Amino acid sequence: METILICLVISEPPVLVEELTSLEVVKGSTAVFACKVAGSALFKVTWLKNKKLIKSSPKYWISTDGQNVGLEIQDCEPEDVGTYQCVVNNEVGSFKLFSLLVPPAFVKKIENVSTVLGDCKVTGSAPLTTSWFHNGQEIKSGPNYIISCDEYTCKLRVPSIKMSDSGKYTCKAVNAAGTSETSASMNVTGQ
């Protein structure tokens, strides 16, 4: 009688054990994304920022140590804001993780003025929605106000200033991760 030994190897697709979390970091600091995966070894890990491939460099440090997967972003700047994606796969399957929805923050705030209002600049993960308010009431573009947002710069112009235009003006930015506001007052005095 002859004995034949057969080795059966069951491969498992990668699965998430510990999720990525969104981060909010201070300019100039290091952001660290880390997660834990399980499944058959020999994972291939790919990182993307806003759907574009990230390669290991002095700016981006990519690590894969068994079940631990990580990305370090050195010296964070406003340009580093975005949606980061980690794709883990092996010969059996794959999964994707998303992270870093950054709440809006105004990097240039509006200032108190006595005439036409200026600009403000906001950062945060897309999509961002901005709204303007005068004394707590939302205002829209029209004959009394000219409102524009281009990229991350928001502008409010008051083409024909009246006494009733005095008051507090607020620009509010909202995304899935949170809300931020900047306010300034305009004081209109009689001639």
pLDDT at 36: 81
Nearest to 101 by CA among 128, 63, 122: 128
Amino acid occupying residue 138: E
- Sheet with 129-134, side-by-side order of all strands: 137-139, 129-134, 167-175, 178-186
When the pLDDT of each residue in the chain is averaged and rounded to a whole number, the result is: 79
Whether the Cβ atoms of residue 100 and residue 50 lie closer than 8 Å to each other: no
Whether the Cβ atoms of residue 111 and residue 183 lie closer than 8 Å to each other: no
Indicate if 105-186 has the same CATH topology as 25-99: yes
Is residue 78 helix, strand or coil? helix
- Sheet with 60-65, side-by-side order of all strands: 15-18, 31-38, 68-73, 60-65
pLDDT at 138: 95
* DSSP conformation class of 28: T
pLDDT at 101: 53
Amino acid occupying residue 168: K
Taking only the tens place, the pLDDT of each residue in 34-73 is 888 877 767 788 888 888 999 999 999 998 887 788 889 8
pTM for this prediction? 0.53
**Alpha carbons 133 and 115: distance in angstroms, whole number:** 17
Task: Assign domain 105-186 to a CATH class.
Answer: mainly beta
pLDDT at 58: 94
Task: Assign domain 25-99 to a CATH class.
Answer: mainly beta
Residue 120: CB partners within 8 Å, gap ≥ 6?
Answer: 106, 108, 109, 110, 153, 154, 171, 182
pLDDT at 60: 93
Which ranges of the chain have pLDDT less than 50?
A: none
pLDDT at 22: 64
pLDDT at 17: 63
**Domain-wise residue ranges, the chain:** 25-99, 105-186
pLDDT at 117: 66
pLDDT at 18: 65
